[in-house]
Amino acid sequence: MNISKIANLRFFFINSRLLGFYLSFITLILFLFGIAWGLFIAPKDYLQGESYRIMYVHVPAAWLSLQVYIFMTIAAIISLIWKVKIMEIASIECAPIGAFFTLIALITGMIWGKPTWGTYWVWDARLTSELILLFIYIGILILYSSFEDKRQGSKVASILAIVGLINIPIIHYSVEWWNTLHQGPTVMKFDRPSVHSSMLIPLIYMFFVFNLYFITVLIKRIRLGICHREKNSKWFEDYIND
C-alpha cells in the first residue's frame, strides 16, 4: 500500500468509517481511565491541594493547541506544494480542533487561576500568547468560511496559517519580554523544578489520550470535509447509493 493510495479521497472515505468508529470508542475508554487516574489515584499536591488536578486537562490541552497548529501548517505546506487534496482538507479541519483546544486551555486555566493566583485572568506572557493563538485560529477559520469556493478558501487559509507559524514565536517572545518588563507586584511563578513521577505519568498519559482524541476527531472531520466537497462527484454518489 503506498501513500498516494491513502491520499486518494475515495479510498480514505470508504476505509476510515470503521477506523473512526473504533478510535472514538478506544479514546472514550482511555479518556475515562485517564480522568479517573488524574482525579482520584494521583496524589494530592502539598502546595495547591486538590485544585491542581485540573492540570490533567489544562496542560495537555495547552500542548495540543500548539501541536495542532504545527500539524496544520505542515499539512498546509504539503497541500500547497504537492497539491495533495486530502492534506488541503486536513489542514483546514485542524483549525476548529486547535481553536477548541486553545479555548479549553484558556478556560481551565482561568478556573485554575482563581484558587491558585486569586484571580481569573492576569496579562501574563503565557496567557496572552495563548489568547493571541486563539485569535489567529479564529482569523484562519473566518477567512476560510468567507470564501464560497472551499478549495480557494483552504488555499488562502493555508497561506495565513504558514505566515502565522512564522509569527507565533515572534509573538511569544515579544509578549514574554513585554511581561518581564512590566513585572507587576504579584509574581505568578508556580514552576517547580520537577514534577514527581506519580503526577507526571498520568499527565503524559493524558497527553497521549488527547493526541488520540485529536486524531479521531480529525479523521471524522476529514470525512465530513470530503462529504462537503465531493458531494457532486460520481464515486461519492455511487458509494452513497450502494
Element (H, E) at 76: helix 55-82
* Rounded Cα distance, 61 and 118, in Å: 22
Q: Report residue 49: phi and psi, to 5°.
A: 70, -140
> Contact with another protein (CB under 8 A): which of 53, 85, 155, 221?
155
Q: Going residue by residue from 44 to 83, which x/- string records binding to another protein, judged by CB under 8 A? A: ----------------------------------------
Q: How far is the CB of 11 from another protein (least distance, A)?
A: 27
Q: Is 154 left (phi over 0), alpha (psi -120 to 50) or beta?
A: alpha
Torsion of CA 30, 31, 33, 35, to 10 degrees: 160
- Binder among 117, 147, 205, 236 for another protein (CB under 8 A): 147
Total residues binding another protein (CB under 8 A): 25
Cell of 54: 485540573
Contact predicate 11/85, CB 8 Å: no
For another protein, the closer of residues 161 and 203 by Cβ is 161
Using CA atoms, how far apart are residues 96 and 100, in angstroms rounded to an integer? 6
Q: Min. distance of Cβ 79 from another protein in angstroms? A: 12
Give the one residue of 5, 15, 119, 152 binding another protein; rule: CB under 8 A: 152
Site for another protein in 164-203 (CB under 8 A): 164, 167, 170-171, 174-175, 177-178, 181
Sites of contact with another protein (CB under 8 A):
132, 135-136, 138-139, 142-143, 146-147, 149, 152, 155-156, 159-160, 163-164, 167, 170-171, 174-175, 177-178, 181
